[in-house]
Amino acid sequence: MERTVLHETAQLGQSIWLDTISRDLLLTKGLDVWIEKGVLGVTTNPAIFEQAIAKTTDYDEEIRKLAKEGKSVAGIYETLTLQEVRAAADILRPVYDKTGVDGYVSLEVNPLLASDVESTVSEAERLFKALERPNVMIKIPATSEGIEAVEDCIAKGINVNATLIFSTGQYSSVAEACLRGLERRARTNEPLDVASVASVFVSRIDSAVDALLEQKNDCEFAELKGRIGVDNARIAYQRYRKIFDPANARWKALADRGARTQRLLWASTGTKNPAYSDVLYIENLIGPNTVNTIPPRTLSAFLDHGKAALTLENDLAEAQARRDLLSAAGIDLDDVGLKLQQDGVAAFNTAFDVLLKGIGDKANKTPVQ
């Protein structure tokens, strides 16, 4: 097997996951090829399924068949997504069996439930049970209600990917929810080997902050452009290290009983500004006990010309100084993070609605003879 930069990255303690799924990827052994190159997991979201199902013809025949069987549009969506996640989980099962910490596939709860704790937990529990695989995670947006749901799901033994985290405050709340969920299991003497990641979004921070800095039109703040996304992630990692420090008595009590750390996962790591390096959010965020989920185009770029080195704790003093300068510019990262999270939930809602409409249109379309 050819050694790649992904294998080198794994040796440094970071797992590379693939941020996409499709029928073609699964049937043509495309995922197997990525795994051979060093991919260790897969993440999905409503926008990815919208692209895969609504905007290709790969599923048309099956959609019409399911419709004829009397499945509702929502039922068709669930059948297809569960089917694809199960298939990907089976392909990744050897990775899971070998590593114990990777080989996972994530499936998101209905994003329309983001403001309803009870419904989110109920759906997460139902989906986790329906998937019937140990190497799956249920994605839950880290809204205030979602954070409550994360705690409840971990307490129930459901593997969780807490997503749409944009600020260090949001991250701290998710990590706290993880600890509370594990502590609830500990009190009832249940196993603590529940898998969990906290997905911190990176490039969207730069897109938002850069736009705000443009409005300032002040050369004093020009150096902040394209820097805050990585800085924000690095500062979040410092919080992770304190929370899950073996010397932290609260965490040690859980770890001694088999609890796993809730790894930080870097999401939104495709470069959106063409003026920046196409591997900016990969090369600068490599460190132990982390995951980076990467879209195919960016992953191909990293394989082609990326470098693997421990970079996650570089320039920490400078990162904090830039954060202070950002505050001096009148930009509050917590406010930016809250708006980005709200926009992210809205975007997933839209993608989900478009996906359901696309399935409905395909279900009612007469096939071409």
Two tokens, residue 290: 């982390």
Q: What mean pLDDT comes out for the span 65-85?
A: 94
Long-range residue pairs from 180-186, CB within 8 A, at least 24 positions apart, any chain: 180/151, 180/155, 181/150, 181/151, 181/152, 181/153, 181/154, 181/155, 182/154, 182/155, 182/254, 182/259, 183/254, 184/151, 184/155, 185/154, 185/155, 185/157, 186/253, 186/254, 186/257
Q: What is the pLDDT of residues 283-320, one digit of tens each?
A: 999 999 999 999 999 999 999 999 999 999 999 999 99
pLDDT band at 2; cut points 50, 70, 90: confident
36-61 residue pLDDT tens: 999 999 999 888 999 999 889 999 99
Query: What pLDDT, on the 0 to 100 scale, is given for residue 364?
Result: 85
Q: What are phi and psi of 52, to 5 degrees?
A: -70, -40
- The model's confidence at residue 337, banded by pLDDT at 50, 70 and 90, is very high
Read off the amino acid at residue 335: D
Report, as residue numbers or ranges, the catalytic residues: 139
Whether residue 366 is predicted with pLDDT greater than 70 in this model: the reply is no
> What is the value of pTM for the model shown?
0.95
**Interval 196-209: pLDDT, tens:** 999 999 999 999 99
Listed by start position, the domains of the chain span 5-356
Mean pLDDT on 188-198: 97
In the predicted structure, residue 321 carries a pLDDT above the cut 60: yes
The CATH number, out of the four listed (3.40.50.2300, 3.20.20.70, 3.40.50.300, 3.20.20.80), of the domain defined by the range 5-356: 3.20.20.70
Partner residues linked to 162 by β-bridges? 140, 198
Comparing CA positions, the residue from 199, 193, 176 lying closest to residue 344 is 199
Res. 215: pLDDT tops 50: yes
What's the pLDDT at 1? 65
Nearest C-alpha neighbor of 262 from the set 330, 332, 178: 178
Q: Are 263 and 43 in contact (CB under 8 A)?
A: no
Q: What is the mean pLDDT of residues 225-245?
A: 97
Looking at the predicted structure, is the pLDDT value of residue 8 above 70? yes
Q: How confident is the model at residue 216 (pLDDT cuts 50, 70, 90)?
A: confident
130-143 tens-digit pLDDT: 999 999 999 999 99
Residue 367 has a pLDDT of: 57
Lookup: tokens for 117: 């704790």
- Determine the Cα angle at 296 with ends 292 and 301, to 5°: 85
CA dist 6 → 15, 30, 213 (Å): 8, 16, 34
Q: Quick one: average pLDDT of 343-352?
A: 92
Residues 319-324 have a mean pLDDT of 95
Question: What phi and psi values does residue 209 have, to the nearest 5 degrees?
Answer: -65, -40
Give the model confidence (pLDDT) of 250-274 as tens digits: 999 999 999 999 999 999 999 999 9
CA distance 224 to 333: 13
pLDDT at 241 over 60: yes
Q: Collapse the DSSP code of 98 into the 3-class scheme (helix H, G, I; strand E, B; otherwise coil) and give the result.
A: helix
Q: HSE of 67 in the Cβ direction (CA atoms, 13 Å)?
A: 17
Q: What percent of the chain has pLDDT over 70?
A: 99
Q: According to the model, what pLDDT value does residue 369 have?
A: 44
pLDDT value of position 368: 45
Average pLDDT over all residues of the chain: 95
pLDDT band of residue 170 (cuts 50, 70, 90) is very high
**115 pLDDT above the threshold of 90:** no
